[in-house]
């Protein structure tokens, strides 16, 4: 392949960059929200060591 500046090729990328970053943020924000909901729904109620991984 010859390395060369390809403006037409490049002009196809801004939408991928924009929607790509947006898509990643949206997906992780939804996961963030779900963690908050799960944490509220299943509080630890003072039980100890449930966050300690034994292995």
Task: Tell me how far apart the alpha carbons of residues 1 and 9 are, in angstroms, rounded to a whole number.
Answer: 14
Cβ of residue 37: shortest distance to another protein, in angstroms?
9
Q: How many residues bind another protein (CB under 8 A)?
A: 44
Shortest spacing between CB 8 and another protein, in angstroms: 9
- Nearest CA among 46, 48, 30 for reference residue 38: 30
Q: CB of 40: closest distance to another protein in angstroms?
A: 10
Structure tokens at 26: 């949206």
Site string for another protein, 4-23 (x = CB under 8 A): xxxx-xx-xxxxxx-xxx-x
Give the pair of three-digit tokens for residue 20.
Answer: 């790509």
């Amino acid at each position: 392949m010859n390395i060369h500046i390809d403006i037409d090729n490049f002009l196809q990328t801004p939408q991928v960059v924009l929607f790509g970053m947006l898509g990643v943020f949206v997906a992780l924000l939804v996961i963030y929200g779900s963690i908050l909901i799960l944490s509220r729904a299943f509080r630890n109620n003072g039980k100890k060591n449930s966050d300690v991984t034994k292995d």
